[in-house]
């Protein structure tokens, strides 16, 4: 049980994929100006990371070294396409709102990174847990950034108006550059709070 | 097992790809009808929204569509006509946005000089930026807008332009290009509709 707890804290805090390993930055910049899209996108990443880790780990003794990475990409795309199909069929409005971003989960380097660094050499259940917690670490950071970007950029939280009527939206918060500033601020604050890995 | 053997590598790659693709196509075929149904419903919903016919849910929308909206073919093009109150013409358009094709519906009044409403069926613009063309405040700007000449976009601090006589709508902040492309599509669609409909629609 301790091992699971250790992985949890490692992936969410001490070796967080976004603010410590600085992976998955493209999507951090792209989707974080709206909380709802961010939430659904990160749930997708969480599930895909978990299940592709599980599958890679289950198949690891059969995968030839030469085609190891191709196989990982195949497994990852398999799960991403399933997420896409499920959204299209059962949550069409969400699928519509996210548009091309669901397909782009495939290129999120956190997923491949975990498959290569963890699932290739660990047991299936542990790998699944590692994937889920990595996705959680990713989700936490993106949600915090999205919260501030949506709040200042649109004056809303999950689409509900929070800021008073006279509030002038900070346009820069909606645009990609603000995600750079937000991420840098985030890393700075986290480091100041004693996470020296960051 | 000798997993580095050339033959094994080829066999493995082939098998795993085959298995995964078979599973995916099975899942895809299971949900295919549902996806088609959703797509059909998106179209019906967009046409009703553009024509300003209220509906409560999916069933209601499909029923009202059957009851009030007629599909007619004029000059080789499909138009949707409703007779609730004044006559309204709707046309399904498709045109280039910034990143991909935008499809949607424009509804014009009987005289073809004011927009009744616009709605979007599908688009691939940047979520949170150009993707906001789907938000109500943006679409609402077109409602009632006078269109006997082309409309344009302008920048403003407020959300949405409520003046219906100024031939102009507010662009989305941070997505000026998408806004520009969208308005261009709307202008083209309207002139296309006039070209086809004028002549046999003026009573």
What digits encode the pLDDT tens for the residues A99-158? 777 888 888 888 888 888 888 888 999 999 999 999 999 999 889 999 988 888 888 888
End-to-end CA distance of chain B: 83
| Closest chain B C-alpha to A70 CA, distance in angstroms | 9
Distance between CA B173 and CA A170 in Å, rounded?
A: 10
- Give the per-residue pLDDT at B153: 86
Q: Is pLDDT above 60 for A75? A: yes
Q: Which pair of tokens denotes residue A3?
A: 């091992």
Q: pLDDT > 90: what percent of chain A? A: 25
Distance between CA B107 and CA B186 in Å, rounded?
A: 10
Alpha helices in A60-175 (DSSP H): 68-90, 92-98, 109-117, 124-154, 171-174
**Nearest C-alpha in B relative to A85:** B28
- Give the per-residue pLDDT at B199: 57
ipTM of the assembly? 0.77
Q: Check residues A185 and B163 and name the one with the higher pLDDT.
A: A185
How many H-runs (helices) and E-runs (strands) does chain B carry?
Answer: 4, 7
Strand, coil or helix: A178 = helix
Give the mean pLDDT of B14-42: 92
Strand, coil or helix: B173 = coil
- pLDDT tier for residue B201 given thresholds of 50, 70 and 90: very low
Q: How far is CA A36 from CA A106, A158, A196, B114, in A?
A: 20, 6, 31, 35
- Give the per-residue pLDDT at A195: 67
Q: Which residues from B are below 8 Å from A66, CB to CB?
A: 4, 9
| Closest chain A C-alpha to B43 CA, distance in angstroms | 13
CB distance from A98 to chain B under 8 Å?
yes
Q: What tens digit of pLDDT does each residue of A89-108 get?
A: 888 877 877 777 788 888 88
Residue environment code for B19-47, b if the CB has 16+ CB neighbours within 10 A, otherwise e: ebeeeeeeebeeeeeebeebeeebbbbbb
Which residues fall within 8 angstroms of residue B161, CB to CB, at 6 or more apart?
A: B141, B154, B168, B169, B170
Please give the mean pLDDT across all residues of chain B: 86
Distance between CA B142 and CA B160 in Å, rounded?
A: 10
Q: Which residues from A are below 8 Å from B3, CB to CB?
A: 61-65
- Give the per-residue pLDDT at A56: 93
Q: pLDDT > 70: what percent of chain A? A: 97
- Give the per-residue pLDDT at B157: 67
CB distance from A192 to chain B under 8 Å?
no
Give the mean pLDDT of B9-37: 92
**Nearest C-alpha in A relative to B29:** A85
**Residue that has been written with the tokens 């542990």 in this structure:** A126
Q: What tens digit of pLDDT does each residue of B86-110 get?
A: 888 899 999 998 888 999 999 998 8
**Nearest C-alpha in A relative to B134:** A97
Q: Is pLDDT above 60 for B1? A: no
Give the mean pLDDT of A169-194: 82
- Give the per-residue pLDDT at A197: 64
Please answer yes or no on whether A78 and B13 come within 8 Å at the CB atom: no
- Give the per-residue pLDDT at B202: 41
Q: What tens digit of pLDDT does each residue of A12-28 get?
A: 887 888 887 778 777 77
- Give the per-residue pLDDT at B180: 92
Of A78, A96, A168, the CB nearest to B157: A168
Question: Kindly report the CA angle at A11 between A6 and A17, in degrees rounded to 5?
Answer: 160
- pLDDT tier for residue A46 given thresholds of 50, 70 and 90: very high
| Closest chain B C-alpha to A172 CA, distance in angstroms | 8
- Give the per-residue pLDDT at A196: 64
Q: Which pair of tokens denotes residue A17?
A: 């994929």
- Give the per-residue pLDDT at B20: 94
Q: Check residues A102 and A47 and name the one with the higher pLDDT.
A: A47
- Whether A138 and A147 have beta carbons less than 8 Å apart is answered as no
- pLDDT tier for residue B61 given thresholds of 50, 70 and 90: confident
Please answer yes or no on whether B9 and A97 come within 8 Å at the CB atom: no
- Whether A84 and A102 have beta carbons less than 8 Å apart is answered as yes
**Residue that has been written with the tokens 């700007």 in this structure:** B141
CB distance from A52 to chain B under 8 Å?
no
Give the mean pLDDT of B78-91: 86
């Amino acid at each position: 049980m301790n091992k699971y707890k250790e992985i949890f804290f490692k992936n969410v805090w001490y070796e967080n994929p976004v603010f410590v390993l600085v992976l998955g930055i493209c999507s951090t910049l792209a989707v974080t100006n709206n909380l709802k899209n961010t939430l659904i996108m990160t749930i997708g990443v969480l599930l895909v990371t978990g299940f592709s880790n599980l599958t890679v780990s289950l198949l690891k003794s059969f995968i030839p070294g030469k085609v190891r990475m191709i196989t990982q990409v195949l497994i990852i795309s398999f799960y991403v396409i399933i997420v896409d199909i499920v959204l299209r069929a059962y949550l069409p409005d969400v699928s519509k709102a996210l548009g091309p971003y669901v397909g782009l989960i495939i290129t999120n380097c956190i997923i491949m990174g975990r498959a290569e660094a963890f699932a290739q050499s660990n047991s299936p259940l542990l790998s699944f847990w590692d994937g889920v917690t990595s996705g959680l670490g990713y989700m936490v950071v993106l949600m915090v950034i999205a919260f501030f970007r949506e709040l200042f950029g649109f004056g809303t939280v999950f689409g509900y108006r929070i800021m008073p009527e006279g509030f002038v939206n900070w346009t820069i918060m909606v645009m990609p550059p603000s995600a750079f500033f937000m991420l840098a601020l985030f890393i700075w604050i986290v480091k100041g709070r004693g996470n020296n890995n960051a | 097992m000798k997993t580095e053997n050339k033959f094994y590598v080829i066999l493995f790659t082939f098998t795993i790809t085959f298995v995964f693709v078979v599973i995916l196509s099975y899942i895809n075929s299971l949900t295919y009808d549902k996806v088609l149904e959703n797509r059909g419903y998106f179209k019906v919903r967009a046409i009703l929204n553009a024509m300003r016919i209220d509906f409560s849910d999916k069933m209601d929308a499909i029923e009202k569509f059957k009851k009030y909206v007629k599909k007619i073919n004029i000059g080789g093009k499909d138009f949707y006509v409703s007779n609730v109150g004044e006559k309204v013409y709707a046309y399904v358009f498709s045109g280039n946005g910034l990143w991909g094709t935008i499809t949607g519906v424009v509804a014009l009044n009987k005289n073809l000089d004011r927009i009744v409403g616009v709605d979007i069926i599908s688009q691939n613009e940047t979520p949170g930026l150009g993707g906001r063309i789907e938000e109500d405040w943006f679409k609402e700007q077109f409602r009632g807008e006078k269109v006997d000449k082309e409309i344009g976009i302008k920048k403003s601090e407020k959300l949405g332009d409520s003046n219906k006589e100024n031939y102009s709508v507010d662009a989305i902040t941070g997505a000026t290009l998408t806004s520009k492309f969208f308005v261009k599509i709307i202008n083209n669609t309207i002139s296309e509709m006039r070209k086809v409909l004028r002549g046999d629609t003026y009573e």
